[in-house]
Amino acid sequence: MTKTRVALVDMGERLPIDLNKLSGKLNSKLNSFEFSPAQSITAARIGDPTIADEWHDVEILLDMLRTDSRLQSYDLIIGFTHYKITEKASPPDSNHRDYFCLSDFHKVSVISLNDNIVKFKPPGRNLYQYAAFLSICELLINLAKKDMVHSATNFCLFDDCEDRLGFRQGMEKGEICTGCLSKLERAGVSRTVVIQAQKVLKWCKYNSLRHSIIQTLCNPIITLALGTAVGWTAKSYVPKEQSIIIFIPTAIIIIIMLIYTRYFSK
């Protein structure tokens, strides 16, 4: 089976994530695609912000990716940057100028990992989940060859999120609404690709393992269970062979709380 080749490009050389790690996660869930990091586009080449001395014009960034001779062999290209990105036509209100991601609806997309926009991701989700969530959004848009974003707030992958706080709820839901599923089908995006994309969204909706472990260990129930276990086994009169009676229920409690914290706690 011929796979769709997708380049992941560092734009600005200051990413807070490793694109090798991100491509590995995406490749593990999207069998129809081959994600791989490509050569970076340097900060020197990108230059200074061109809009209000603060934002980079996304059209300029998209054109850099589109015309880069090193990227011509790829079917799709996703650029990741630590810069703030916007459109020239965006409202002058600085609170609405920052964009999560933008695309040419054909082949090329740019995703921002700037702190000013990343802060809207749900707590407990890491930057790899954030980047993967937006990568799926841009991937499906470019496969459909049309703007899939809608103004209706359905807590869907393709919500416009004019109110940036809506992004958190959309990522927590990790879903594509029925209307958008129909649009993707009509645009010729295969059901197999959509199912694979939904696997990534499912991973993105859960708390990260690191966050789950920290939250679990901070839970008062776990503190009590661990304290009880340590206290009992420290007693010299408790035979060694009986200490397992304390540790088994303690371990069960910890595992139950870890599963709850990661997959069910919001």
Q: Report the CATH number at residue 107.
A: 3.40.390.10
Q: Are residues 224 and 174 in the same domain?
A: no
Nearest Cα residue to 173 out of 120, 122, 115, 101: 122
**What range does the domain containing 224 cover?**
211-263
* Confidence label for 217 from pLDDT (cuts 50, 70 and 90): low
Q: Exposed, middle or buried: residue 7 (CB in 10 Å: 0-12, 13-18, 19+)? A: buried
Q: Are residues 8 and 132 in the same domain?
A: yes
* Confidence label for 94 from pLDDT (cuts 50, 70 and 90): low
Q: Compare 89 and 62 and report the one with higher pLDDT.
A: 62
Is the pLDDT at 213 greater than 60, yes or no? no
- Domain-ending residue, one of 171, 187, 206: 206
Q: Exposed, middle or buried: residue 140 (CB in 10 Å: 0-12, 13-18, 19+)? A: buried
* 186-199: pLDDT as tens digits: 999 999 999 999 99
Q: Are residues 51 and 160 in the same domain?
A: yes
Q: Compare 220 and 169 and report the one with higher pLDDT.
A: 169
Q: Are residues 23 and 144 in the same domain?
A: yes
pLDDT of amino acid 212:
47
Task: Name the pTM for this structure.
Answer: 0.80
* Confidence label for 223 from pLDDT (cuts 50, 70 and 90): low
Q: Are residues 55 and 166 in the same domain?
A: yes
Q: Are residues 30 and 60 in the same domain?
A: yes
- Domain-ending residue, one of 187, 206, 225: 206
Q: Are residues 19 and 105 in the same domain?
A: yes
Q: Are residues 177 and 227 in the same domain?
A: no
Is the pLDDT at 235 greater than 50, yes or no? yes
